[in-house]
Amino acid sequence: MSDNNEYAQTLAGALQRLKSAKDTSYRFIVCDAKPHIGVMVAKQITAKHKEELTKATGSKRLLASGECRFEDGHFVFTPENPVSGLARKVQAAVQFHTGKKYQIQVGSESADEAAAGQALEKAADGARSDQGLPLNAKNPDARAAAPEPKPLASAGGTFAISGSVGQGGKNSSADVSAVQTALNAKAKAGLRVDGKCGPKTIGAIQDFQKAMSMPKPDGRIDPGRGTARALSRPGPLPPAQAPPQAVAAPKLGRPELGKAAAVWHNMRTVIDTNLEQVKKAATAHYAHDHPDLVKDLKQNLGKLDGIKDKFDHRIADSMAKADAAKDDAARRMELKKAKGILAEYINHVKSEPLIAHVDSNPWVKINLRKTLVDTITHMAQAIG
């Protein structure tokens, strides 16, 4: 629990009162602070609350504010302006200050995210290719267990480094020399082996990563990670793959009942294609890592298929039946059914955290949420 007992007791008490209340909303504010953000919850946020929060955190930087309620076992924070990744920060802050781990949801983001979503978010937060490991599905806060590889024989002899080399690396002279030697032997980089990590060495690392089919080369090598393992392996790299490329959603045009089914089917095709591109990019990014990590990542990425499954073909079938109805009564009945299906889809968009994680992946931008929202809106307009 936080050493600031007065603030911790105020926060814990407010959350307990909100949890005990029925159909009640409180207000909240969040301020940006380190190592944990500050959270204040009350029926009404006053100047006194802000002063107490500032005293507890030493920060006056407002990060978010809005309404908070307790429903279905979760404290649901609805910020006036969305802040990506806030759910886990709020959960961590509340746990730090009160000593209790509550189920937290901010907007559509849950603090207890699926392993696949966390792996993508880790990469989106700037994890480098040789640092951002796919997370273990059983323990999302731990890196996937994998044995550290022993130094392997490369074309230039035994290759091993003790620390990171390249952009933002530790760049010890011995490690830089080892990388320069290995790049010269493996990729004919033509580097001067001087132990100095300058632009040419970083550029050579990036070129090698491009040859590895990494979608976003970062110019850095870490011990035992993908780029280091690729440098260690004998023989040439496999041919580089074409970079992943998202397809744009087709223009929707004027909403018409007779065309609605085709519009929905087209959208599902676009989603399927673009999710495969995300999988392709993530797989290429980690392709040269330890096999256990690659296997773990593929299992997590398989969960992305559930997104398309939630937005199934029922609405297209219903709209087609409504268009083909022989009388107004049958048409109205089918359109009522279609509205119910759309309501389900809208709820999926609001509640599925993987949508936000897919959109924040660093490799290929697919604008999944926008595609879904635009198409659902189009379908609603076609219903009339």
| Confidence (pLDDT) at 8 | 87
State the Cα–Cα distance between residues 91 and 121, nearest whole angstrom.
Answer: 17
Higher pLDDT, 150 or 200: 200
Q: What percent of the chain has pLDDT over 90?
A: 53
Residues 26 and 14: beta-carbon distance below 8 Å: yes
State the Cα–Cα distance between residues 355 and 370, nearest whole angstrom.
Answer: 10
Distances (CA, A) of 49 to 59, 77, 80: 13, 18, 19
Give the model confidence (pLDDT) of 233-292 as tens digits: 888 888 998 999 999 988 999 999 999 999 999 999 999 999 999 999 999 999 998 888
Cis peptide before 134 (omega within 30 of 0): no
State the Cα–Cα distance between residues 307 and 292, nearest whole angstrom.
Answer: 25
Residues 206 and 219: beta-carbon distance below 8 Å: yes
| Confidence (pLDDT) at 108 | 66
The mean per-residue pLDDT over the stretch 335-342 comes to 95
Give the model confidence (pLDDT) of 211-241 as tens digits: 999 999 999 999 989 999 999 888 888 899 8
Residues 105 and 201: beta-carbon distance below 8 Å: no
pLDDT bucket at 105, cuts 50 / 70 / 90 = confident
Residues 332 and 212: beta-carbon distance below 8 Å: no
Give the model confidence (pLDDT) of 175-206 as tens digits: 999 999 999 999 999 999 999 999 999 999 99
Q: What percent of the chain has pLDDT over 70?
A: 86
Mean pLDDT of all residues in the chain? 85
